[in-house]
Amino acid sequence: MLYSDHKNKYVNYRSEEFLSDTFFIRSMKEPTEESENFWSEFTKRNPSNIGEFIQAKQILLAIRDDESRMLPDEEVDQLLDRIMDINLGRTNKKRRVVRYWMGVAAGIAACVIAVIMIVQEPGPLTLGQDKILSYVEKNKTINLDDTTVKLIISDQKIIVTEEVEPVIAYDSKEIKLATTEISKAESAEYNQLIVPYGKRSRLTLSDGTKIWVNAGTHLTYPVEFTDTRREIYVSGEVFLDIAHDTDRPFIVKTDNFDIRVLGTKFNVSTYENEINNVVLVSGSVKISQSGKRQDVFLQPNEMFELHEGQSMKKQVNAEYYTSWINGLYIVDNEKLEVVLKRLSKYYGKKIACSPETGQLRCSGKLDLKESLNDILDNLNLKYTSGNNTYKIY
């Protein structure tokens, strides 16, 4: 094959290296069937640098080869200086590469877009720049202690269900929940799904992405994604099976970090006042934190953990963190207080124990299809219950 020598060449490339590569440039600007097949196979392998590939591809496609309208060197330098003042920490090499592509841009507007795409996109956008986070900020009145699952379609239409685990699906024309079907024409730009403690939900988005939503979770997402990117907001816990789309990266935004993928399976837990984590099952993801220059890339069975501003990456058994979608909770030498807090959310009951009891360790597999009483009995715990509260002693 003509391009066989390139097979493993690009797996560690950053965006500026793609933009310096003759084969990549020619493939993007003058694609052939063979080069398209090569890059299609590259993206299907979902390498850890897939985000860098997308950025380089976007900047090339955004710039027309119109040498006659090059910016003067002085204007290019001034523009770069203004952008670099905002985006600190980028290397001189990247500056030279971006400067070249700005030089062949059609005009100042194209230059600004292109440079921001390659220099600024890896980091989370600030609230003022980000549409979905602005929407979330304006609609923060969420009651997770309610007993009903709420799907907020618009200010005028809210669907409420008592189901323990309602299934919701978006297709090309309608929003479906049980026997209810709503035309997308009745929907606002963004929908909200609020799953209280004691309930779960399963959601299929308009692109085919499947989301398992755990108890105590708030999701915000557009009824239809744009042609260039897919973004949702999560507070709580979800498991995602992302529909693969090379041209539209999928971004999960949380209060503390962003997760960027193309097509993969992973779990996200971002409960307030708890350790936040991302656990990867398959594919790869890139995690960006505001104020952090270095992105974190995960491979399968790795976890990114964030606690009190400190982050770390470590090897884990992903099944332990995702088994809840199958009605199981796998515990491996975990503190009892952690187990009880998770059970409290899942069953929607308050569970109290003494600090000493909470430090006890336990291991095993809990069947979440059983009642909370049965779970506590299986853990050999003594307890009293009443008024929606369990007291362990």
| Contact in structure between 122 and 286 (CB atoms under 8 Å) | yes
Q: Is the dihedral of CA 15, 17, 20, 25 positive or negative?
A: negative
**Cα(282)–Cα(300) distance, integer angstroms:** 5
- Shared-domain flag, residues 113 and 152: no
**Cα(291)–Cα(179) distance, integer angstroms:** 46
Q: For residue 62, is it within any domain?
A: yes
221-233 b/e (C-beta count within 10 Å ≥ 16 → b): bbbebeeeebbbb
pLDDT above 50: residue 79: no
Q: For residue 70, is it within any domain?
A: yes
- Does the pTM surpass 0.75? The reply is no
pLDDT above 80: residue 80: no
Q: For residue 126, is it within any domain?
A: no
- Shared-domain flag, residues 296 and 354: no
Indicate the pLDDT class of residue 275, thresholds 50, 70 and 90.
very high
How far are the Cα atoms of 3, 47, 179, 319 from residue 211, in angstroms, in the given order? 38, 23, 20, 17
- Shared-domain flag, residues 214 and 311: yes
> Across the chain, what does the average pLDDT equal?
81
Structurally, the chain folds into a number of domains equal to 3
Instruction: Write down the H helix ranges in 63-130.
Output: 73-86, 92-103, 108-119
Phi (first) and psi of residue 118, to 5 degrees: -90, -30
Q: For residue 89, is it within any domain?
A: yes
CATH number at residue 379: 3.55.50.30
Query: How is the chain split among helix, strand and coil, in percent rounded to 5?
Result: 30, 30, 40
- Shared-domain flag, residues 242 and 293: yes
- Shared-domain flag, residues 21 and 115: yes
- Shared-domain flag, residues 312 and 287: yes
Q: For residue 124, is it within any domain?
A: no
44-64 pLDDT tens trace: 777 777 877 877 776 666 553
Please calculate the CA angle 136-138-144 and round it to the nearest 5 degrees: 60
Owning domain of residue 108 = 4-119
The domain boundary, picked from 320, 351, 371, lies at 320
The per-residue pLDDT for 58 is 66
Please calculate the CA angle 304-305-311 and round it to the nearest 5 degrees: 100
The per-residue pLDDT for 134 is 87
- Shared-domain flag, residues 306 and 170: yes
**Cα(365)–Cα(332) distance, integer angstroms:** 9
Q: For residue 298, is it within any domain?
A: yes
| Contact in structure between 279 and 267 (CB atoms under 8 Å) | yes
Q: In this structure, what is the dihedral angle of CA atoms 116, 121, 126, 129, given to the nearest 10 degrees? A: 50
How far are the Cα atoms of 74, 130, 289 from residue 337, in angstroms, in the given order? 62, 37, 29
The domain boundary, picked from 86, 119, 152, lies at 119
CATH number at residue 165: 2.60.120.1440
| Contact in structure between 152 and 142 (CB atoms under 8 Å) | no
The domain boundary, picked from 80, 95, 119, lies at 119
- Shared-domain flag, residues 67 and 196: no
Q: For residue 20, is it within any domain?
A: yes
150-194 pLDDT tens trace: 999 998 899 999 999 999 999 989 999 988 899 999 999 999 999
- Shared-domain flag, residues 226 and 293: yes
- Shared-domain flag, residues 45 and 143: no
| Contact in structure between 179 and 171 (CB atoms under 8 Å) | no
Indicate the pLDDT class of residue 42, thresholds 50, 70 and 90.
confident
The per-residue pLDDT for 90 is 42
Q: For residue 125, is it within any domain?
A: no
CB atoms within 10 A of CB 356: 7
The per-residue pLDDT for 197 is 95
- Shared-domain flag, residues 216 and 308: yes
- Shared-domain flag, residues 368 and 297: no
**Cα(349)–Cα(388) distance, integer angstroms:** 6
**Which among 315, 329, 324, 322 has a CA at the least distance from the CA of 364?**
329
**Which among 95, 114, 102 has a CA at the least distance from the CA of 69?**
102
The per-residue pLDDT for 220 is 96
